[in-house]
């Protein structure tokens, strides 16, 4: 993807994530969403099963599977709709995408400059702290503008 298009997509997603930022601290109810909502509606497992076209034991299994993470997104969506709810699925970054990229760029640049500094030390060509900081900032800027293919590799 072209850097310009990646940046546009990144900005659009970050705008969406700002609206979802409150979800980061959202806690799953102890009984899970499905059972908690079903009980709050005063709906029995048998009644939810009828609405879903499944047996009451299947509803119990779905509610347990939700808690263990084994319930499919499709099943969550169907159960939500059967209770007149909307199933919402999102992956919300802890920080902005820009900040996540910047932090990775700092790591990558730091490793790269560390190797360069070692070579320069061996050649008796040390640079000042200010020059090292400037080199780091320049490298971070370059990396965030044009993300290399191995940017997210553990070997970076």
| 32-67 per-position pLDDT tens digit | 999 999 999 999 999 999 999 999 999 999 999 999
What average pLDDT score do residues 11-35 get? 91
What average pLDDT score do residues 107-126 get? 69
> What's the whole-model pTM score?
0.74
pLDDT tier at 122, thresholds 50, 70, 90: very low
pLDDT for the residue 116: 64
Q: Which two tokens stand for residue 74?
A: 């499709």
Least confident of 74-78, 106-110, 114-118: 114-118
User: 3-state SS of 104-131?
Assistant: HHHHHHHHHHHHHHHHHHHCCCCCCHHH
Distance of CA 36 to the CA centre of its chain: 26
Domains annotated on the chain, with CATH: 3-82 (1.10.260), 97-145 (no CATH)
Q: Which two tokens stand for residue 26?
A: 């959202």
What average pLDDT score do residues 86-114 get? 91
Residue 14 to residue 98: CA distance in whole angstroms: 8
Looking up tokens 């709709």, which residue turns up? 81
Distance of CA 1 to the CA centre of its chain: 20
Q: Which two tokens stand for residue 125?
A: 């060509």
- 139 CB neighbour count, 10 Å cutoff: 18
Contacts of 119 (CB under 8 A, 6+ apart): none
Please give the residue that has the higher pLDDT: either 24 or 152: 152
Residue 1 to residue 123: CA distance in whole angstroms: 39
Residue 28 to residue 88: CA distance in whole angstroms: 13
């Amino acid at each position: 993807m072209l850097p310009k298009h990646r940046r546009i997509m990144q900005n659009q997603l970050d705008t969406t994530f700002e609206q979802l930022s409150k979800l980061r601290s959202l806690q799953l109810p102890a009984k899970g969403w499905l059972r908690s909502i079903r009980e709050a509606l005063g709906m029995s497992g048998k009644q939810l099963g009828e609405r879903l076209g499944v047996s009451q034991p299947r509803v119990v299994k779905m509610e347990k599977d939700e808690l263990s993470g084994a319930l499919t997104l499709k099943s969550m969506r169907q159960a939500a709709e059967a209770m007149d709810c909307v199933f919402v699925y999102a992956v919300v970054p802890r920080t902005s995408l820009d900040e996540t990229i910047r932090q990775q760029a700092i790591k990558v640049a730091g490793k790269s400059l560390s190797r360069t500094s070692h070579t320069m030390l061996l050649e008796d060509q040390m640079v000042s702290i200010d020059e090292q900081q400037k080199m780091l900032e320049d490298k971070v800027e370059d990396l965030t503008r044009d993300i290399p293919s191995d940017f997210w590799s553990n070997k970076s």
